[in-house]
Amino acid sequence: MANKSAPNFLVIVADDLGFSDCGCFGSEIQTPNIDALAAEANAIRFTNYHVAAACSPTRSMLMTGTDHHIAGLGELAEFTRSSVAHQGQPGHEGYLNERVVALPELLKDGGYHTMMAGKWHLGLKPQHHPIQRGFNRSFALLPGCANHYGYEPQYDDPEIEPHKFFETATRALHVEDDKFVQQLPKDFYSSDAYASKMVSYLSERTDEEKSKPFFAYLPFSAPHWPLQAPKEVVEKYKGIYHDGPDALRLKRLQRLKDMGLVEKDVQPHPVVRCEGEPQKWEDMPADVREKSARAMEVYAAMVDRMDWNIGKVIEYLKQTGEYENTFVLFMSDNGAEGASYEALPILGDEVVAHIAKYYNNSLDNIGRGDSFVWYGSQWAQAATAPSRLFKQYSTEGGCRVPLVIRPPLPKSDSAKPSPGSVTNAYCTVMDIVPTFLELAGLKHPGTSYKGREIAPVRGKSWGPFLTALSSKDPTAIGSLNIHGEDYVTGFEISGSGALRKGDWKIVFVPAPRGPQKWELFNVKEDPGETKDLRDAEPALFEEMMKLWEEYKKDVGVIGVAGEYPTVMLGHKAPIRDEFDDPYGWIKFMGRPERVPEHLKHVVPV
């Protein structure tokens, strides 16, 4: 069982938040609660924290401490259902599989009370819901994204609409504990609802439950598209982005340098622009610039509102006296989302037509519940600079994200809590499970859990790092490491691969945003991944490629782009069985009156 002094845990995850999107990481967006957290005694901002380059893969690693290709989310399920090569392969089930044990299961076994409110994205079927993976209470958004106001258009033909791309991205399908939520409140807004539900779960605990430490998981679905936020919050940012993304990028970079979060001489990766996407800001028509700036205003408002809701939960814990012994962690699940779906071949025209038919994207309506916009690659690269690219790429821009932790203050009189500090120690999301278990006084079961074989943890506890940090002069933080030079981490999402060992990293970026070949970088000296050293360091490159092949075989990576048939998002692969495609059932789940006759035996209601 957990130690008597075991801390509570509050884990907060933002969805598609860029590296510099919070004030304490250089943003102009108002995030006073996250900033206050980062400034507290004993708090740490991590500038070298890495995740997978997409949301559910990262969330699976956060829950298990092992690689997402093992845990069941080798790729986003939305990708796998469109790929012949990935379907049916081990580790690509599209849900948190039985080869892993989840952190809330272990904490619950160890005497914790476990709760979540927010985005799950780790399985749609009832047997894969949060309550089956260790949560006592849960209010969960099941798909990867949805309308933040719960709005759904009235389709002409609900049986075949919406279009395949939108069927996984529109309906706000939620489950509370073991029941589908039939009707969301009329005033539903995702961030408000998740924070309020978390406060409710905390306040509704029985005396027995209050006697236990708690694990509270608060994964927001903001600021993932569709970009939507309360109008009064959007108004705060009116006119701030009229100079465009390149100007914002320069401002953010300068603030990062001024704050000491990146080196002053860092070489940022150039902005990558592809055919079909907007080019230079000044060359765009005025009305296009106006709508683009408005989309960014709404994005900022989503981050602002999320922060306000984080404050609501923290304030509750302070009022109950539980905050002091709560380990708070705030992170993003991947780099900023830079996809421009309207520019994709074939799919782009279909997406544009569907939005034009069912949504109102007029300037004054952008951000409302019946609008549907994203902000595109150039705004995303303003948020990930100085890094290269963004979500879906295993570059630093896709995998390096903001992390703030605030451990409880040390009990020892000799310990010296430092004011909010910064570390550049390399670490990954897989470290969280072993860290929390050590702090709770619990052990991971290793390779067996309740009679089934499971994958061991691949991360490393931050316990020794945190202990060393609290006992040293704050100025010594730069010399403290978490992982040694020989620690190897692999990455792969949507055919973009990478492998890191010490300061060295090989990266594969598919065309058209990359050269469709492996490159080699020293990411300590060149975090922007601007100088390919493959030809200058041939022996090292060969060694790294051997490690990649070992990693690929070990965890079950299917391959990088070009090693399997091209995948077209929004189009199901021909071999996919409709009777085993839960992402095609989202519009029917929990709605028995809408389920087509031929699917009634498989769709959970």
HEC states along 522-546? Answer: ECCCCCCCCCCCCCCCHHHHHHHHH
pLDDT digits (tens, 9 = 90+) for 156-178: 988 788 888 898 899 999 999 99
Catalytically active residues, by annotation:
55, 121
pLDDT digits (tens, 9 = 90+) for 404-426: 999 998 765 445 556 689 999 99
CA distance to 26, 423, 590, per residue, from 259 (Å): 7, 13, 49
pLDDT at 49 over 60: yes
pLDDT at 579 over 60: no
- Look at residue 396 and give its three-state secondary structure: helix
Q: What pLDDT is recorded for position 368?
A: 98
Q: What does the mean pLDDT of the chain come to?
A: 93
Q: How far apart are CA 367 and CA 295, in angstroms?
A: 7
Q: What pLDDT is recorded for position 418?
A: 60
Q: How far apart are CA 495 and CA 74, in angstroms?
A: 11
Residues listed for the chain: 605
The answer to whether 470 and 462 have CB atoms below 8 angstroms apart is no
In a 10 Å sphere around its CB, with 0-12 CB exposed, 13-18 middle and 19+ buried, how is residue 282 labelled? exposed
208 confidence band (pLDDT: 50, 70, 90): very high
* Percent of residues, the chain, with pLDDT higher than 70: 95
Structure tokens at 75: 């790729």
Q: What pLDDT is recorded for position 567?
A: 83
CB within 8 A of 518, min separation 6: which ones? 506, 507, 508, 534, 541, 545, 548
pLDDT digits (tens, 9 = 90+) for 241-293: 999 999 999 999 999 999 999 999 999 999 999 887 777 899 899 999 999 99
Contacts 24+ apart (CB under 8 A), 179-182: 180/589, 180/590, 180/604, 180/605, 181/139, 181/590, 182/590
- Look at residue 116 and give its three-state secondary structure: strand
pLDDT digits (tens, 9 = 90+) for 354-372: 999 999 999 999 999 999 9
Average pLDDT over residues 127-153: 97
DSSP letters spanning 550-576: HHHHHHT---STTSS----TTS--TT-
pLDDT at 148 over 80: yes
pTM of the model: 0.96
Under DSSP, the state recorded for 600 is T
Sheet strands side by side (includes 518-522): 488-493, 496-501, 504-508, 518-522
pLDDT at 550 over 60: yes
pLDDT at 574 over 70: no
Q: Is the peptide bond before 162 cis (omega within 30 degrees of 0)?
A: yes
Average pLDDT over residues 466-479: 72
Q: How far apart are CA 225 and CA 236, in angstroms?
A: 20
Q: Are strands 448-449 and 452-453 parallel, antiparallel or unpaired?
A: antiparallel
Q: What pLDDT is recorded for position 59?
A: 98
Q: How far apart are CA 81 and CA 79, in angstroms?
A: 6
Q: Are strands 137-141 and 113-119 parallel, antiparallel or unpaired?
A: parallel
Q: What pLDDT is recorded for position 600?
A: 87
472 confidence band (pLDDT: 50, 70, 90): low
pLDDT at 7 over 80: yes
The answer to whether 554 and 146 have CB atoms below 8 angstroms apart is no
DSSP letters spanning 151-165: -----SSTTT-S-TT
pLDDT at 137 over 80: yes
Average pLDDT over residues 186-212: 97
User: What is the SS3 assignment for 473-526?
Assistant: CHHHHHHCCCCCCCCEEEEEECCEEEEEECCEEEEECCCCCCCCCEEEEECCCC
Q: What pLDDT is recorded for position 449?
A: 97
pLDDT at 573 over 90: no
Q: How far apart are CA 597 and CA 535, in angstroms?
A: 60
Q: What pLDDT is recorded for position 578?
A: 53
Q: For residue 397, give the nearest of 528, 570, 225 by alpha carbon.
A: 528
For 311-397, where are the E strands, in sequence order? 326-332
pLDDT digits (tens, 9 = 90+) for 316-346: 999 999 999 999 999 999 999 998 776 676 6
pLDDT at 305 over 70: yes
pLDDT at 580 over 80: no
User: Which residue would you say has higher pLDDT here, 561 or 566?
Assistant: 561
Q: What pLDDT is recorded for position 74?
A: 97
pLDDT at 310 over 90: yes
DSSP letters spanning 174-241: EEETTEE-S---TT--HHHHHHHHHHHHHHT--HHHHTS-EEEEEE--TTSSS----HHHHGGGTTTT
CA distance to 120, 183, 185, 454, per residue, from 188 (Å): 18, 10, 5, 39
Q: What pLDDT is recorded for position 511?
A: 96
